[in-house]
Amino acid sequence: MLSRNMRSFFDLYYGRGSEEFETNESFQLILWCWALIGVKPWKPYGLFRSLQMAFCWICLLMCPFTCIVGFIQVSKQTSSMTVILTTLQTTLQSVSLPLKALVTAFYLDRLRSVEPIFKTLDGRYQNPQSRFAITNNVIQSTHLFVTLVVSYFTYGTISWLSSAFTHTQPLNIWLPFFHWIPHPTIHFWLHFVIEVVYLHYLLIVQCMNDLYPAVYIKALRTHITLLADRVSRLGENPELTDEDNYQELSDCVRSHQELLQISRAVGSVISITLFIQFTIAATVLCVCMLNLFLFADASHRVITIVYYLCVLSQTSLTCYQASMLELDCEKLPDAIFHCHWWDMDKRSRRLLIYFLHSAQKEISFVAVKFFKINLGTNLSIAKFSFSLYTFMNQVGVGQDVKHEFD
């Protein structure tokens, strides 16, 4: 359930408000969008909200079927390889959309389970510098949300504007019962309007699928950095007793264990969705390159380039945050080693050794035990698409198809 007293969008964007910000507020817009597109149920339950959720899931689950049938129809009706490949790009993405949404909806409680832990962690940082870091995380997450939504909707707008000028459909999906409309103009524009609305709905679904892993990992990075800064100050206050230092160290160890708990909960969800995205991305990128270099005209090249960048951003954003998290985790053992451990008692030093050993294990994510989620894997996916395109070009697959259609 979304809180009734949650901050407005502009408060989140500009960091305004009299009350202190919490880490959980960085997830607020994502949860609201999930409720809007039917992935997360609205509360309190009602007939209208239940119908809205059911309608959204019907649209989402029908997406692969309508796109595949539409692709088959386009392949039979047109001789333009550009249109066929552009439709194929959308069709391949449509297969992954409901799968990732189902995974997110099924494991949504697991994602929500980290919110009380983040709230507990926030309560341990009350100094202005730490509160500013938490507030800054919320602001940056909101900026990231806006940037991604604007970029996805920019692609959608370019796509349907180009289709309107060329008198084609933006998605070329199949819609039932539309063949009964006798008037061609009414048939085309009604189909066009429905596709434009459907396109933007699918873009919101895709955007949230790509955004939530990066935002959750970014929140983890913020608290890892705060913990490292806190650990680096252990033992430096001469006014604290040995018991006080021990309790402070114990609380740091507890915070680290809670961060590991968050990483396991979040990692179990993004592991599946990123695996699906990795497997789809390489194929889609290869199709984009074939379309771009062999078949697309000037207008479709612009759309293909924007689409190519969007596909890269789908994984690169999360991979970047995961790589930065690995680097942030490396700073924690250094902070433990360089703290004022010589001013602590023997009991605290023993606990510090245990903490140092535990902190050396980095927090990383793996896509279903196949791909490590970081920038190296994202680069490998891009390189694979180039290699696959080069291979197809060398054996003459693209040129043969091009000559056949010409």
DSSP string across 345-393: -HHHHHHHHHHHHHHTS----EETTTEE-SHHHHHHHHHHHHHHHHHHH
Tokens of 304: 């293909």
Whether residue 384 is predicted with pLDDT greater than 60 in this model: the reply is: yes
What mean pLDDT is reported for the chain? 84
Rounded CA-CA distance 279/100 in Å is: 12
Per-residue pLDDT at 309:
74
Tokens of 54: 């059911």
- Higher pLDDT: 169 or 102? It is 102
Whether residue 383 is predicted with pLDDT greater than 90 in this model: the reply is: no
Rounded CA-CA distance 405/260 in Å is: 55
Helix (H) or strand (E) holding 211: helix 184-232
State how far the alpha carbon of 342 is from the alpha carbons of 234, 238, 240, 295, in Å.
10, 12, 14, 69
Question: If you average pLDDT over residues 247-268, what whole number do you get?
Answer: 92
pLDDT range class, residue 48, cuts 50, 70, 90: confident
Whether residue 401 is predicted with pLDDT greater than 80 in this model: the reply is: no
Beta-ladder partners of 366: 372
Whether residue 324 is predicted with pLDDT greater than 60 in this model: the reply is: yes
Phi-psi region of 364 (alpha: psi -120 to 50; beta: other; left: phi over 0): beta
Question: If you average pLDDT over residues 339-354, what whole number do you get?
Answer: 84
Question: If you average pLDDT over residues 24-45, what whole number do you get?
Answer: 88
pLDDT-wise least confident of 104-108, 293-297, 342-346: 293-297
46 phi, psi to nearest 5 deg = -160, 170
Is 200 exposed, middle or buried (CB count within 10 Å of its CB: 0-12, 13-18, 19+)? middle
Q: Which of 3-17, 25-39, 176-190 has the highest mean pLDDT?
A: 25-39
Residue 18 has, within 13 A of its CA and on its CB side, a CA count of 1
Question: If you average pLDDT over residues 1-27, what whole number do you get?
Answer: 79
125 phi, psi to nearest 5 deg = -120, 105
Per-residue pLDDT at 343:
77
Handedness of CA 173, 174, 180, 182 (dihedral sign): positive
- Angle subtended at Cα 35 by Cα 32 and Cα 38, rounded to the nearest 5 degrees: 150
- Does the reported pTM lie above 0.85? yes
Question: If you average pLDDT over residues 358-377, what whole number do you get?
Answer: 85
Beta-ladder partners of 367: 371
Of the chain, the percentage scoring pLDDT greater than 90 comes to 30
Rounded CA-CA distance 350/346 in Å is: 6
Per-residue pLDDT at 377:
85
pLDDT range class, residue 162, cuts 50, 70, 90: confident
Phi-psi region of 396 (alpha: psi -120 to 50; beta: other; left: phi over 0): left
Whether residue 1 is predicted with pLDDT greater than 50 in this model: the reply is: no
Per-residue pLDDT at 4:
43
Of the chain, the percentage scoring pLDDT greater than 70 comes to 91
Whether residue 138 is predicted with pLDDT greater than 60 in this model: the reply is: yes
Q: Give residue-wise pLDDT tens across range 2-13.
A: 444 578 888 888
- Higher pLDDT: 73 or 211? It is 211
pLDDT-wise least confident of 49-63, 218-232, 339-353: 339-353
Question: If you average pLDDT over residues 181-205, what whole number do you get?
Answer: 87
Rounded CA-CA distance 208/56 in Å is: 15
pLDDT range class, residue 197, cuts 50, 70, 90: very high
Q: Which of 43-57, 88-102, 115-129 has the highest mean pLDDT?
A: 115-129
Residues 6+ apart with CB under 8 A from 13: 139, 142, 143, 146
pLDDT-wise least confident of 161-165, 216-220, 261-265: 161-165
Question: If you average pLDDT over residues 387-395, what whole number do you get?
Answer: 69
Q: What Rg value do the Cα atoms of the chain yield, rounded?
A: 25
Question: If you average pLDDT over residues 195-223, what whole number do you get?
Answer: 92
Q: Give residue-wise pLDDT tens across range 229-257.
A: 999 888 888 887 888 888 888 999 999 99
Total Cβ atoms within 10 A of residue 352 = 23
Q: Contact, 232 vs 371, CB < 8 A?
A: no
Paired sense of beta strands 366-367 and 371-372, if any: antiparallel
- Higher pLDDT: 22 or 285? It is 22
In the chain, what are the domain boundaries?
9-405
Q: Give residue-wise pLDDT tens across range 99-111.
A: 999 999 999 999 9
Whether residue 403 is predicted with pLDDT greater than 70 in this model: the reply is: no
- Angle subtended at Cα 46 by Cα 41 and Cα 51, rounded to the nearest 5 degrees: 70
DSSP string across 103-143: HHHHTHHHHHTTHHHHHHHHTT--SHHHHHHHHHHHHHHHH
The structure tokens 């697309």 sit at 296
Is 381 exposed, middle or buried (CB count within 10 Å of its CB: 0-12, 13-18, 19+)? buried
Is 38 exposed, middle or buried (CB count within 10 Å of its CB: 0-12, 13-18, 19+)? buried
First to last CA, the chain: 56
Per-residue pLDDT at 214:
94
Which amino acid would we find at residue 392?
A: M
State how far the alpha carbon of 189 is from the alpha carbons of 76, 179, 200, in Å.
21, 13, 17
